A and B are shown apart, each in its own frame.
Chain A
Amino acid sequence: MRLKNKKKITVPGLLFCLCLLSATLPDMVACHDGISHLSAVDTVRPDVITIDSMKVFGALERAPVPFLHDLHVQGVLDSPTGKNRPLKETCGVCHLSDDGEISWKFIRRRDTTRDEVRDVFHANCMACHEKMKIKQEPTGPLSCGECHVNAPRVTFTRVPMGFDKSLHYRHSNAHQDKCGTCHHEYDSKARTLSHTPGKEDTCRVCHEKKPTTNPVSMRNASHRSCIGCHLKNTDVDSPGKKINGPIHCSGCHDQGTVSSIPKVKVLPRIKRNQPDTVMIKTGDVDVDETYRNRMDFVPFDHKSHEIYSETCRECHHAGISSCNNCHTLKGSEKGEYINLELAMHQPGSVQSCRGCHEKEQEKKACIGCHAFLGGDRDYNQKECSKCHMTSDAREGTTSSEDRIDQAMDGALENLKENHGPAATLLTSRKMIHATYTDAEIPETVVIDDLVDEYEAVTFPHRKVVKSLLTGVKGNTLANYFHSNKGTFCQGCHHNSPATEKPTQCGSCHGKPFNKRDLLKPGLMGAFHRQCLECHRLMDISSPAGCTDCHEKKQK
């Protein structure tokens, strides 16, 4: 009896496991073998193409047709004829091509007349559906209203596709670092594509988002190049199904499929002759007195920052060149009049140094303190020199202008050698790894200023300091900018000078709702806001209730 029962449980269990395995396995490799994991029943999908081609001829008579591209590609591949057809001819079933250049319109090269385009769709779609019906294969709609639906069953959703470093490496590695396979420049006179090594830009520098013809839009360019290459790299002329890379919509635009692409763990640097370290120069050659640079140049560790960003365009926009080519001191049309100062300091922009560094402060380990500092801080003048570093050796011996000239020369040299003043300055930076010693940090603080309904709180002060410090251990950004032993204390003891004995909460916070100091919370508010907000932001689940911190007073 017992055994029987056990069997009853295990058999469906095993079946379930098998189902899971069979369901997940194709998914895991989906990105690579070009099989779409979408089925006809999926309603939220990335392969919905709304056929409204007739729009160019005036108002539509019937509702546009939601066309499921992956379903049709898979149908073509799986059909008896499709199985014997060379893979690169698969697209040719629906798309015409000239000299290998595929037209992405359905069995036509251009939209000629209303009647002709309409007939292309009706004749070809219906013919194929009917043929399959005769063969008693699963097929698509055969009546008008089944295609021209007013309320489509499917909704279109698509994740934008882009190369991260890992995906870029997978491609560059597969092509033995032949960058010219994808990267090219267009010579408008010779009307040819060429490739200059070391001058590669991102695709978006020429191929724009909006629909264009010459150069073609980003959408057309990427579909043409990516899918074209994926098809080409299959076993030529063989009917085999080994596809190197996705040819389905879902292969690139489905969240699940995209995130299942294996990430390369140890990535070598992208090879584009970029410097390890560089001085961020002003770039202006003939600047008038008003716009002359008065700041020390900033040494920039390019190599380290490559680790933090997924793509070059995260900082460089589409075209990869020095920031000061467009962002000059004065601002230029090329740089949309965002001058160098703004480009480097604009809060809220991830392309500016400051914006990106502030974004880092939103991480769980940092936000507990940084959330209270506010997003509108003025420049702290003491902090300028953290980036605008002055070499002590040079200072005093040369005028500031000479220093700039020297730095400029150094920066040029830097590009070649990676051993310029930038590298020297960067290595001279001091990282603060610790705050005060344990003996200097009070172990507990008894908060008894407000004892009324609840007993006093014994605040584990040192434990909190230690755990906050652990959070930023090894974080160079934090270690460099928390420049003073006491900086760390200022996270909670805000507005206090960075000293060993910072001001206590009650020194500033008192009775609430003071008319003369509208924005300062009272003492009770200050305690609770600071503690609870920090716990919430740092995802610390306790305290769950009032008595987790202070005992209820017995009356």
Chain B
Amino acid sequence: MSITRRKFIEWMGLAGAGTALGPLQAQGASSAAFKGYPDSFGVLHDITACVGCRSCEDACNRINVLPSPDRPFDDAGVFGEKRRPTTKAYTVVNRYERREKGVSDSGGHLGSPFFRKIQCNHCLEPACASVCFVKAFEKTAKGPVVYDPTVCVGCRYCMVACPFEIPSYEYEEAYTPSVVKCTMCSHRVEKGELPGCVEACPTEALIFGERKNLLKIAREKIRKHPHRYLNHIYGEKEMGGTSWMYLSGVPFSEVGLREDLGETPAPAMTSGALGVIPMVVGLWPVFLAGMYGMNRRREKIAQEEKTRAVAHALDRAQTQENPSTAKDTRSRNIGGKK
């Protein structure tokens, strides 16, 4: 099969148009317009109401059948350090001292520390899912971001991508290590039950409900107690919105939440660069095949021209030397060459 230049340009044009349309659609789908699944669930964490009893950690441990911790759950000594979720604890509570002491007359009550529970925030458009090339992470319609260990290849891109540094990895597992993070008790939520931590929280510092209702509750709390809360619901817009949201009385950076994340969901940030990949993948074979074809054709023509020229030269030489035998010699030569 031979490729003409005209045909090659036609193919390239078609391929280019096709791939150029692709990323446009991808970007459209991943723009900030996605407001989460309707009626999906979430949790509102009222940091001002958390008393640091660690009942949530206890419940999480029991419900997810995790190994018993090094220190018991009623040991307040763990607050000495800032902890992160691990493969053995999907959630941890940290203590944050108040930077400013109260100026109120009674003074003392404003000096007590804050506690914040840390777990997967179950983003509406999760960064972990967007970087996973085997689709091990999925944002379910009910709200939880769930993980499928059977397809995971252990690249740990999810751990790098997560802006909240949540997923942890079973480094100690030799054969089947997997990524571990809070599941928002998806198995319980599907059955209509509460996540373990929420059920255990004695002060209702964790409020479970439909995300849209949680936002209503949060706004009402802020309206009713303007001195108690900052006018900001963390997670309403951060990273495009999360299912787990927070209310606080002090800047969120003081309770260990990043305030530099912006409102763009993670997939929207990478879709531009990732959109180029189909273009490369689609165009490259066509381009290379074309180049190969053109080179082959040029070589073939050159070969033919060369053979013709040689034959012609031989022919002429023989006619000059011995016009009668010229025809035989030529046919023998060509045969010998083959």
Residues from 468 to 506 in A contacting B, C-beta threshold 8 Å = none
Complex contact B220–A539 (CB within 8 A): no
Which chain A residue lies CB-closest to B201? Answer: A525
Which B residues are in CB contact (< 8 Å) with A513? 194, 207-209
Q: Nearest Cβ in chain A — how far from B226, in angstroms?
A: 6
Q: Is B270 an interface residue (CB 8 A)?
A: no
- Determine which of B49, B202, B207, B220 lies in contact with A533 in the assembled complex, contact meaning CB atoms within 8 Å: B49
Q: Nearest Cβ in chain A — how far from B227, in angstroms?
A: 6
Q: Is A223 an interface residue (CB 8 A)?
A: no
Which chain A residue lies CB-closest to B53? Answer: A546
Which chain B residue lies CB-closest to A525? Answer: B204
Residues from 101 to 126 in B contacting A, C-beta threshold 8 Å = 104-106, 108-109, 112
Residues from 224 to 251 in B contacting A, C-beta threshold 8 Å = 224-227
Assess A376 versus B223: contact at CB under 8 Å? Given A364-B105, A513-B194, A518-B217.
yes
Complex contact A362–B220 (CB within 8 A): no
Number of interface residues of B (CB under 8 A): 31
Complex contact A524–B213 (CB within 8 A): no
- Determine which of B53, B106, B209, B223 lies in contact with A362 in the assembled complex, contact meaning CB atoms within 8 Å: B106
Residues from 185 to 205 in B contacting A, C-beta threshold 8 Å = 194, 201-204
Complex contact B213–A519 (CB within 8 A): no
Q: Is B216 an interface residue (CB 8 A)?
A: yes
CA distance A166 to B217 in the complex (A): 48
Which A residues are in CB contact (< 8 Å) with B203? 525, 528-529, 532
Q: Is B305 an interface residue (CB 8 A)?
A: no
Q: Is A538 an interface residue (CB 8 A)?
A: yes
Complex contact A376–B202 (CB within 8 A): no
Which chain B residue lies CB-closest to A366? Answer: B106
Complex contact A539–B204 (CB within 8 A): no
Assess A538 versus B194: contact at CB under 8 Å? Given A375-B227, A522-B204, A525-B202.
no
Assess A374 versus B108: contact at CB under 8 Å? Given A518-B209, A528-B202, A532-B51.
no
Q: Nearest Cβ in chain B — how far from A539, in angstroms?
A: 4
Which chain B residue lies CB-closest to A376? Answer: B224
Residues from 362 to 378 in A contacting B, C-beta threshold 8 Å = 362-364, 367, 374-376
Q: Is B165 an interface residue (CB 8 A)?
A: no
Q: Is A521 an interface residue (CB 8 A)?
A: yes
Complex contact A512–B220 (CB within 8 A): no
CA distance A374 to B223 in the complex (A): 9
Assess A524 versus B224: contact at CB under 8 Å? Given A518-B216, A529-B49, A537-B109.
no
CA distance A58 to B177 in the complex (A): 68
Which A residues are in CB contact (< 8 Å) with B194? 513
Which A residues are in CB contact (< 8 Å) with B221? 519
Q: Nearest Cβ in chain A — how far from B44, in angstroms?
A: 10
User: Is chain A's interface secondary structure helix, strand, loop, or mixed overall?
Assistant: loop
Complex contact A515–B225 (CB within 8 A): no
CA distance A539 to B225 in the complex (A): 20
Complex contact B209–A375 (CB within 8 A): no
Number of interface residues of A (CB under 8 A): 27
Which chain A residue lies CB-closest to B49? Answer: A529
Which B residues are in CB contact (< 8 Å) with A546? 53, 55, 74, 202
Q: Is A138 an interface residue (CB 8 A)?
A: no
CA distance A154 to B112 in the complex (A): 32
How does the 8 Å CB contact mask read for B52-74 relative to A, with 1 for contact and 0 for none?
Answer: 01010000000000000000001
Which A residues are in CB contact (< 8 Å) with B74? 545-546
B74, B108, B213: most-surrounded residue (chain A CB, <10 A): B108
- Determine which of A364, A374, A515, A533 lies in contact with B224 in the assembled complex, contact meaning CB atoms within 8 Å: A374
B105, B109, B112, B207: most-surrounded residue (chain A CB, <10 A): B109
Q: Is A388 an interface residue (CB 8 A)?
A: no
Q: Nearest Cβ in chain B — how far from A444, in angstroms?
A: 21
Q: Nearest Cβ in chain A — how far from B112, in angstroms?
A: 6
Which A residues are in CB contact (< 8 Å) with B225? 374-375
CA distance A521 to B207 in the complex (A): 9
Complex contact B109–A539 (CB within 8 A): yes
Which B residues are in CB contact (< 8 Å) with A518? 209, 213, 216-217, 220
Which chain A residue lies CB-closest to B213? Answer: A518
Q: Is B254 an interface residue (CB 8 A)?
A: no
Complex contact A363–B109 (CB within 8 A): no
Q: Nearest Cβ in chain A — how far from B252, in angstroms?
A: 21
Complex contact B207–A536 (CB within 8 A): no
CA distance A539 to B111 in the complex (A): 10
Which chain A residue lies CB-closest to B110? Answer: A537
Assess A515 versus B213: contact at CB under 8 Å? Given A362-B106, A375-B226, A546-B53.
yes
CA distance A522 to B216 in the complex (A): 17
Q: Is B138 an interface residue (CB 8 A)?
A: no
- Determine which of A374, A529, A532, A539 lies in contact with B106 in the assembled complex, contact meaning CB atoms within 8 Å: A539
Q: Is B315 an interface residue (CB 8 A)?
A: no
Q: Nearest Cβ in chain A — how far from B133, in angstroms?
A: 37
CA distance A529 to B207 in the complex (A): 13
Residues from 532 to 555 in A contacting B, C-beta threshold 8 Å = 532-533, 536-539, 545-546
Which A residues are in CB contact (< 8 Å) with B216? 518
CA distance A513 to B220 in the complex (A): 15
Q: Nearest Cβ in chain B — how far from A487, in angstroms?
A: 21
CA distance A422 to B120 in the complex (A): 63
Residues from 305 to 363 in A contacting B, C-beta threshold 8 Å = 362-363
CA distance A374 to B53 in the complex (A): 26
Which B residues are in CB contact (< 8 Å) with A545? 53, 74, 76
Complex contact B204–A524 (CB within 8 A): yes
CA distance A552 to B212 in the complex (A): 37
CA distance A416 to B202 in the complex (A): 61
Complex contact B204–A521 (CB within 8 A): yes
Assess A364 versus B106: contact at CB under 8 Å? Given A375-B226, A513-B194, A536-B112.
yes
Which A residues are in CB contact (< 8 Å) with B208? 512-513
Which B residues are in CB contact (< 8 Å) with A539? 106, 108-109
Which A residues are in CB contact (< 8 Å) with B53? 545-546
Residues from 7 to 64 in B contacting A, C-beta threshold 8 Å = 49, 51, 53, 55
Q: Nearest Cβ in chain B — how far from A159, in angstroms?
A: 14
Q: Nearest Cβ in chain A — how far from B196, in angstroms?
A: 13
Which B residues are in CB contact (< 8 Å) with A363? 105-106
Which chain A residue lies CB-closest to B199? Answer: A512
Which chain A residue lies CB-closest to B202? Answer: A528
Kindly list the 7 A-B residue pairs having the minimum CB-CB distance in the complex, ordered from nearest.
A525-B204, A364-B106, A539-B108, A528-B202, A374-B224, A528-B203, A537-B109
Could you write out 7 A-B pairs with CB less than 8 Å apart? A363-B105, A367-B106, A518-B216, A528-B204, A529-B49, A529-B204, A536-B109
**15 other contacts beyond A362-B104, A538-B106, with CB at 8 A cut-off?**
A362-B105, A364-B108, A513-B209, A515-B209, A515-B210, A518-B213, A518-B216, A519-B217, A522-B204, A533-B49, A537-B109, A539-B106, A545-B53, A546-B53, A546-B202
> A residues touching B (Cβ–Cβ < 8 Å)?
362-364, 367, 374-376, 512-513, 515, 518-519, 521-522, 524-526, 528-529, 532-533, 536-539, 545-546
> B residues touching A (Cβ–Cβ < 8 Å)?
49, 51, 53, 55, 74, 76, 104-106, 108-109, 112, 194, 201-204, 207-210, 213, 216-217, 220-221, 223-227
